[in-house]
């Protein structure tokens, strides 16, 4: 018996990186997966390779959530798992507190925070409609829990996701819906997002990417970068009924980075 056998799952930002690994892991464990992404081409390619459904979506657009939930309930009759994974981390301008542009700040917030809020809001409605004791998993970051002056807006947005998660969990629990909500906090995971971060750091410090990688690695006690599957396994635990008494929590996959205090 697979660990999420027959459950209906939506994974946002599933075209690459963590979302792709999460979608694949849920599929391998028996779930039916609807993968969404703003990049139609990459999303469609990923979905056809995995053998799942693709839905073209801008998570910051509330209409897209209306449609996605209506489609999901019509096609599958239920929704059990929502993984709010879609997110961005950099703006067009700078990323430190002095050079961050308001429009970049707002854009990062609209995707990372409003996108997650909308996902939770519409997933709760859909899960209630089909009486699913569902699980919502929000991708936050260790950036929610420590200072990140080099990613000002991103860190603030991920802290908002953490706090939102607690309120969603408390609301659903106290309303007796049986819907759970938890946040996952990855550290340094090998994804296209991390590669971009290395590249930018290398450019701004005028050093090679390899030098940046070594410096980043020094900050990870386990001395290796995480793989997308490290995060996917944690999401799988939270998506499965194994975690049915777990709600409102924050779970780290960071190679020990935050054990320092």
Partner 1 sequence: MIKVMGRVENKVALVTGGASGIGRECCKLLAREGARVVVADINEAGGLDTVEAIGGESRFFSLDVRSETRWQEVTSQAIDRFGSLDTLVNCAGIGFAGNFEDTSLENWNAIMDVNLTGVFLGCKHMILAQRQVPANASIINISSIAGLLGGEDIAAYSATKGGVTLLSKSIALSCAGRGLGIRCNSIHPTYVDTEMLDPVAAMFSSRDEMRAGMANEVPLGRLALPIDIAYAVLFLASDESAMVTGSSMVVDGGQTAGLPARHTME
Q: 46 or 142: whose CB is closer to partner 1?
A: 142
What string of H, E and C letters represents the secondary structure of 106-161? HHHHHHHHHHHHHHHHHHHHHHHHCCCCCEEEEECCHHHCCCCHHHHHHHHHHHHH
* Residue 111 in tokens: 């995707």
Return the residues of window 171-190 that contact partner 1 according to CB under 8 A: 171, 173-174, 176, 178, 180, 187
Q: Does 109 participate in catalysis according to the annotation?
A: no
Beta-sheet pairing, 180-186 with 32-37: unpaired
Rounded least distance, CB 168 to partner 1, Å? 9
Out of 109, 154, 177, 237, the active site residue is 154
> Could you tell me which stretch among 50-58, 67-75, 197-205, 236-244 binds partner 1 (CB under 8 A)?
236-244
Q: Which of 51, 147, 206, 259 touches partner 1 (CB under 8 A)?
A: 259
Residue 255 makes contact with partner 1 by CB under 8 A: yes
Looking at residue 80, the DSSP 8-state letter turns out to be: -
DSSP for 209-261 reads HHHHHHHHHHT-TTSSPBPHHHHHHHHHHHHSGGGTT--S-EEEESTTGGG--
Residue 136 makes contact with partner 1 by CB under 8 A: no
3-state DSSP percent of the chain in helix, strand and coil, to 5? 50, 15, 35
Residue 215 makes contact with partner 1 by CB under 8 A: no
The angle formed by the CA atoms of residues 51, 57 and 61, to the nearest 5 degrees, is: 160
Residue 222 makes contact with partner 1 by CB under 8 A: yes
- The Cα–Cα gap between 54 and 51 comes to 9
Rounded least distance, CB 257 to partner 1, Å? 8
- The Cα–Cα gap between 86 and 115 comes to 8
Among 90, 182, 100, CA closest to 136 = 182
Residue 29 makes contact with partner 1 by CB under 8 A: no
Residue 216 makes contact with partner 1 by CB under 8 A: no
Q: 94 or 248: whose CB is closer to partner 1?
A: 248
Residue 253 makes contact with partner 1 by CB under 8 A: yes
Q: 64 or 243: whose CB is closer to partner 1?
A: 243
Residue 258 makes contact with partner 1 by CB under 8 A: yes
Residue 247 makes contact with partner 1 by CB under 8 A: yes
Contact yes or no for 11/37 (Cβ under 8 A)? no
Rounded least distance, CB 166 to partner 1, Å? 4
> Could you tell me which stretch among 112-120, 193-201, 210-218, 243-251 binds partner 1 (CB under 8 A)?
243-251
Per CB under 8 A, residues contacting partner 1 are 166-167, 169-171, 173-174, 176, 178, 180, 187, 221-224, 226-227, 230, 233-234, 236-237, 242-256, 258-261
Active site residues: 154
């Amino acid at each position: 018996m697979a660990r999420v056998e027959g459950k209906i799952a939506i994974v946002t930002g599933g075209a690459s990186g963590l979302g792709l690994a999460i979608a694949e892991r849920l599929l391998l464990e028996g779930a039916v997966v609807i993968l969404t992404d703003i990049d139609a081409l990459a999303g469609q390619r990923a979905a056809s390779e995995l053998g799942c459904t693709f839905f073209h979506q801008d998570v910051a657009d509330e209409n897209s959530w209306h449609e996605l939930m209506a489609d999901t309930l019509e096609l599958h009759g239920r929704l059990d798992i929502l993984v709010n994974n879609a997110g961005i981390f950099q703006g067009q301008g700078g990323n430190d507190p002095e050079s961050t542009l308001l429009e970049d700040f707002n854009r990062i917030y609209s995707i990372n925070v409003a996108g997650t809020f909308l996902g939770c809001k519409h997933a709760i409605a859909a899960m209630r409609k089909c009486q699913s004791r569902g699980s919502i998993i929000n991708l936050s970051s260790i950036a929610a829990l420590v200072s990140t002056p080099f990613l000002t807006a991103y860190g603030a947005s991920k802290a908002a996701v953490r706090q939102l998660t607690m309120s969603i969990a408390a609301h659903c629990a106290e309303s007796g819906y049986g819907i759970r909500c938890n946040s996952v906090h990855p550290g340094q995971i090998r994804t296209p997002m991390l590669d971009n971060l290395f590249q930018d750091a290398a450019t701004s410090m005028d050093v090679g990417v390899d030098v940046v990688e070594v410096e980043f690695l020094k900050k990870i006690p386990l001395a290796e970068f995480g793989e997308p599957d490290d995060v996917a396994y944690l999401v799988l635990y939270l998506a499965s009924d194994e975690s049915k008494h777990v709600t409102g929590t924050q779970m780290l996959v960071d190679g020990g980075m935050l054990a320092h205090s």
